[in-house]
Structure 1
């Protein structure tokens, strides 16, 4: 716990403070809805995979520790990555329909923008400044996005949108200038082994999490597909044979399974041999 608190930047402390101040009242206001959400979460179909996910991540961290990569200084960033990225992928696993999902996720994590964000979060202002800046920028960003969408309905919002965009640009320039100043005056503090690990950690966690999410997505796809088959056909023999042939043909190939799922035609099942039909799907 000490390592986590010690490694928090002033920006992270500021975000934590403001998030707490916002979340607590929201929890109180929406406590009934929260109970409903929690009751859904504690369904065994979610709870068991989530438990396995936690175990998998603990194993991943242990593996990185055996490689002498992971240490206690990375605990905070590991928890943050799991809490936001890891859990986000978990609850969107139904959107993983092919291997391309992982390619895109990896590509996004390797963008130059990620390096820029890392450096920007590395050099922060004082705690008081961050406590003032964070809510202001957040509020302006929300208003800017809202005005951008409202432009479609009301063209008069264009001036407001432009003004908010200008404010964000000014804040961006100030932060960028501070960033450049910090890099020039304190570049030694940036280029260290520990910071390199911090930069690489999210990429490693993402890469090592792919097998878990892949097989979870595979199971989810099979389950939803088979439920659809149960609804499509009344004949148990057809359902059994169809499921059998899908498993034989797709195996653990998520791309293939998704393709069969998308192109399965009920009429073809009755008109053709099931085995030949499933094989013919391209």
Structure 2
């Protein structure tokens, strides 16, 4: 079910988790982490996103759009690709556009990355390589701003290129020896999972971006009651809908706090 690279990652995650739990300070922080996680799960945007994801998953599985053997890859994609993308949209909704997400998804690197991740080395080799890669990436990130570490960076980049070549050669041999895999629908579904997943979740990503706009606008109002906030939301949405430029301006309009009632808000919107 899991290839050797995924198994190696799982093994190292378990080791790191056990080590973290052995640290007293980490154990004491677990209740705070769980409390923050519960708060995140109760957030309206997160609830809406999860409902949408579950509905799409049930639809794909019920109508055999999602083959049983690919279910694991879809779940992994949700956690490793979709959730980070949702977080990225929720934090960079002002700059990020749905068009840029689509453009980034339809990139030629999808095919070689899939092949490299599909045909992997033996488990023991992957267990050795995975932490080495994480350490190298961490050192490169730390030394990026310091010019005096250029020689170290060049050495580490050379090691990364060498490991990358090993992955490419292994993947090419694996694909050649298993060329009949291309006759399977699972093979093509896995290869283009990023494209399929993004296209199915585009409505979600589109709505989440504008939910973030309206959430930030409501934060800048002076309405305390939920009914007032809902009324303000309806009034503002009726005026601007999905007008990105106008919503960007409204997010930065801090005088909204001076508006005391829905009637005053309606008059202000009518005058705009």
TM-score range, shorter chain: 0.7 to 0.9
Give 1:173 deviation, angstroms: 1.9
Change (3 A) 1:44 1:181: closer
CA RMSD of aligned residues (A): 3.2
Residue 261 of structure 1 corresponds to 250
Contact 1:241 1:274 in 2 (8 A): no
Residue 26 of structure 1 corresponds to 20
Residue 227 of structure 1 corresponds to 219
Inter-partner Cα distance in structure 2 for 1:88 and 1:202? 13
The 5 Å alignment of 1:155-174 reads: 155=148, 157-174=149-166
Query: TM-score, with normalisation over the residues of structure 1?
Result: 0.77
Which of 111, 116, 121 pairs up with 1:120?
116
Query: TM-score, with normalisation over the residues of structure 2?
Result: 0.79
Contact 1:97 1:254 in 2 (8 A): no
Q: Deviations over 1:105-142 (max 9, x none)?
A: 22222211121110101111111111112122222222
Contact 1:218 1:254 in 2 (8 A): no
Unaligned runs of 5+ in 2: 224-228, 260-266
Residue 15 of structure 1 corresponds to 9
Which of 170, 174, 189 pairs up with 1:178?
170
Contact 1:74 1:198 in 2 (8 A): yes
The 5 Å alignment of 1:29-178 reads: 29=23, 30-43=26-39, 46-47=42-43, 49-95=45-91, 97=93, 101-151=97-147, 155=148, 157-178=149-170
SS of the residue 2:221 aligns to: helix
Unaligned runs of 5+ in 1: 1-6, 232-238
Inter-partner Cα distance in structure 2 for 1:242 and 1:8? 49
Give 1:226 deviation, angstroms: 1.9
Q: Deviations over 1:30-61 (max 9, x none)?
A: 23333223212222773554344333222102
SS of the residue 1:125 aligns to: coil
Change (3 A) 1:194 1:245: closer
SS of the residue 2:80 aligns to: helix
Q: How many residues align?
A: 258
Inter-partner Cα distance in structure 2 for 1:25 and 1:164? 27
Q: Deviations over 1:144-170 (max 9, x none)?
A: 33222333xxx2x22211111111121
Change (3 A) 1:120 1:139: same
Inter-partner Cα distance in structure 2 for 1:17 and 1:207? 32
